[in-house]
């Protein structure tokens, strides 16, 4: 009687008497080993289901709100329409009519985007979107997934738009949230080809319907990933997400201490202001506040000369209502904007 080298199965010789028990013993061993293989494959499948692809969208979990955590959107007011709210996400409209409140919310499952008290006629377009630079993408199949909820009745669809084609790549079916405030998940799979990646790709959520200050809409865990399946949403750390956002927009803060008295009514100050993160393009600089340890200076005329991706050269003409003494610290606050509009 010989035995196999791996599992010691019995191999009767030609002169051995056939023993049914030998066949039963072999069968039991084979069955046991097959069960081990089956269990191992199931464990591998469970482990693979926990592997997460990178999210190609920035701030998909709405952690970063550099511009503030609450906005009053008014379609008829220039500075309050077609605006970026939470970082990398912009609200746009087709007519000067919509109104709503936009806020940052948080619960036990994390931060999420909220839009409430929406006023919008049915024939007026309004959407929330993020534009992606083409170098983020390659040709292939992609999956867009997101979670949504509401306590009102806002209906919407998800849409992927190609600026190169000037056409939609795909539009999802209309999403109809329930009114209980519970969260639902949606997935959309589509192809991006060599033409699409020559220009900007836009991920948008189009708000449908007619609302009279009664629409509310919540969005979280928005993810764009390579492949035809949705994998678990794993948030980046806040620091990593903030750095990615600051490539497009940065709230700048800088200060200087006077080495001589500023006794004149108006004097100029020049300085270089480094950014925390190198910008996508040379940004637009806007200073919106100035304070000092003494007096009440204000910006009269100024030139924001952002010559570089990594720093700005500022030339300021400062007015003050009292003498600013040597050693006085002056501080500016403003924005470096390199967003995609």
Residues 311, 274: contact at Cβ < 8 Å? yes
Q: What is the pTM of this model?
A: 0.79
- Compute φ and ψ for 201, nearest 5 degrees: -110, 135
Q: What is the pLDDT of residues 43-70, one digit of tens each?
A: 666 665 568 899 999 999 999 999 999 9
The candidate with the shortest Cα–Cα distance to 300, out of 324, 321, 327, is 321
pLDDT at residue number 33 = 83
pLDDT score, position 45:
65
Rounded distance between C-alpha atoms, residue 36 and residue 64, angstroms: 47
pLDDT beneath 70, residues of the chain = 43-50, 151-153, 177-181, 258-271, 293-307, 313-324
Q: State whether residue 150 is helix, strand or coil.
A: coil
The pLDDT score that the predictor gives to residue 112 is 96
Could you give the 3-state DSSP secondary structure of residue 230?
Answer: coil
Fold classification of 70-237 is Jelly Rolls (2.60.120)
Per-residue pLDDT, 67: 96
Residue 138: the pLDDT is 92
Over residues 14-45, the pLDDT tens digits come to: 777 778 888 888 888 888 888 888 777 776 66
Task: Give the tokens for residue 19.
Answer: 């023993």
Rounded to 10 degrees, the C-alpha dihedral 73/75/76/79 comes to 50
Task: Provide the residue ranges of all domains of the chain, joining segments of one domain with +.
Answer: 2-49, 70-237, 249-337
How many Cα atoms are found within 13 Å in the side-chain-facing hemisphere of 240? Answer: 9
**pLDDT at residue 189, rounded to an integer:** 96
Q: Do the Cβ atoms of 106 and 146 come closer than 8 Å?
A: no
Measured CA to CA, the distance from residue 306 to residue 243 in angstroms comes to 20
């Amino acid at each position: 009687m010989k035995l196999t080298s791996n599992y010691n199965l019995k191999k009767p010789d030609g002169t051995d008497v056939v023993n049914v028990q030998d066949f039963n013993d072999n069968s039991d061993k084979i069955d046991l080993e097959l069960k081990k293989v089956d269990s191992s494959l199931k464990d591998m499948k469970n482990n693979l289901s926990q592997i997460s692809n990178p999210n190609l969208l920035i701030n998909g979990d709405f952690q970063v709100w550099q511009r503030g955590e609450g906005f009053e959107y008014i379609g008829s007011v220039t500075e309050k329409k077609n605006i970026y709210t939470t970082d990398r996400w912009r609200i746009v409209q087709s007519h000067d009519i919509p109104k709503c409140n936009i806020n940052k919310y948080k619960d036990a499952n994390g931060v999420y985007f909220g839009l409430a008290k929406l006023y919008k006629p049915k024939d007026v377009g309004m959407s929330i979107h993020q534009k992606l630079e083409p170098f983020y993408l390659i040709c292939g199949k992609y999956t867009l997934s997101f979670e949504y909820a509401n306590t009102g009745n806002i209906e919407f669809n998800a849409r992927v738009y190609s600026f190169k084609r000037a056409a939609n790549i795909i539009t999802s079916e209309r999403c109809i949230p329930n009114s209980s405030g519970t969260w639902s998940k949606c997935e959309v799979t589509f192809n991006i080809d060599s033409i699409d990646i020559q220009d900007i790709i836009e991920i948008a959520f189009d708000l449908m319907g007619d609302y009279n200050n009664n629409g509310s809409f919540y969005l979280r865990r928005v993810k764009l990933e390579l492949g035809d399946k949705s994998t678990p949403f794993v948030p980046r750390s806040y620091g990593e997400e903030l750095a990615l956002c600051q490539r497009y927009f940065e709230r700048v803060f800088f200060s200087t201490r006077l080495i001589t008295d500023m006794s004149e009514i108006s004097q100029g100050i020049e300085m270089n202001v480094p950014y925390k993160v190198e910008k996508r393009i040379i940004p637009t600089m806007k200073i919106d506040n100035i304070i000092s340890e003494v007096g009440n200076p204000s910006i009269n005329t100024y030139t924001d000369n952002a010559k570089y991706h990594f720093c700005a050269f500022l030339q300021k003409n400062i007015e003050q209502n009292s003498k600013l003494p040597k050693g006085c610290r002056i501080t500016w606050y403003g924005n470096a904007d390199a967003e995609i509009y």
